């Protein structure tokens, strides 16, 4: 069974540039999470979906970040105008429902110069 797949693995941007991250969850997993993990910190939830619906995006900086999961499978997280403070690893995770084990992708390591 394929795990959670993320791309790209790395991204280096100048401030003000845009970037998109892509996530393919485990087949059949209805719940998908995006986390931001700054260096030497624990992951912090940005947004999560059940199927195509956003369940909670209260921690997503809405002026520059957006996330979609149009068919309830793959998901895209986009940063419109990156800032140095966005430097972090962006992790995607999926689960079969909530209150279930989480499975993580390898993450995308973003550096904003």
Partner 1 sequence: GQQVQQSPASLVLQEGENAELQCNFSTSLNSMQWFYQRPGGSLVSLFYNPSGTKHSGRLTSTTVIKERRSSLHISSSQTTDSGTYLCALERPGNEKITFGAGTKLTIKP
Residues that bind partner 1 (CB under 8 A): 33, 35, 41-45, 48, 55-56, 91, 93, 98-107, 109
Q: Which is closer to partner 1, CB of 22 or CB of 104?
A: 104
**Based on CB atoms, which residue is closest to partner 1, 62 or 99?**
99
52 or 81: CB nearest partner 1? 52
Residues facing 26 on adjacent strands: none
- Count Cβ neighbours within 10 Å for each residue of 50-73 and write b for 16 or more, e otherwise: beeeeeebeebeeeebbbebeeeb
């Amino acid at each position: 069974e394929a795990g959670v797949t993320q791309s790209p693995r790395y991204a280096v941007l100048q401030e003000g540039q845009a970037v998109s991250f892509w996530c393919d969850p485990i087949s059949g997993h209805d719940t998908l999470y995006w986390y931001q993990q700054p260096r030497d910190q624990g992951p912090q939830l940005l947004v999560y979906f059940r199927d195509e619906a956003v369940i909670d995006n209260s921690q997503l900086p809405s002026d520059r970040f957006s996330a979609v999961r149009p068919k309830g499978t793959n998901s895209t997280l986009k940063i419109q105008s990156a800032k140095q403070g966005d430097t972090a690893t962006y992790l995607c995770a999926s689960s079969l429902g909530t209150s279930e084990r989480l499975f993580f992708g390898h993450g995308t390591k973003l550096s904003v110069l």
